[in-house]
Structure 1
């Protein structure tokens, strides 16, 4: 089981968003926001999540699918913590 709490608390916002975008079906933006509200509220309250997400959209790292689904873009790369299989990622 993936330890989302530890991942969100310890990793960069950019890498966490990349991880979720790279999941098979992506993640809904409201769900993504909810993870950060739950485990790292300051990222939402100070606007960092929005800023990083906008940069990632502009750079083609993430894209929007149907119904605000966040999916990987043409310039997406797997975060390092995924290849290291941290937080229970297999």
Structure 2
């Protein structure tokens, strides 16, 4: 089982977002917001999550998915290092 709390608290916002969009269905911004509201509210209150998502979209790391506020892997997406190291219970 993946330890989302540790992942969100210890990894950079950019790496965490890259992890969450890795599935074929991607992730919606409201779901990202919930992870950070629960485990690291300062990222929300300081506007870091939104600015990071915008920056990652501009860089092509993530892109818009099926609906507004939904994100999937972009053409420049790379797997975060902690995934290859199998941290946080990632198999």
Gaps of 5+ in 1: none
Alignment of 1:30-69 (within 5 A): 30-67=30-67, 68-69=69-70
Please provide the CA RMSD for this pair.
0.8
Q: TM-score scaled to structure 1, two decimals?
A: 0.96
Q: Classify the secondary structure of the residue corresponding to 2:71.
A: strand
Q: Which runs of 4+ in 1 moved over 2 A?
A: none
Partner deviation per Cα, 1:15-49 (whole Å, 9 max, x = no partner):
00000011231111100111011100000000111
Q: TM-score scaled to structure 2, two decimals?
A: 0.95
Aligned residues: 90
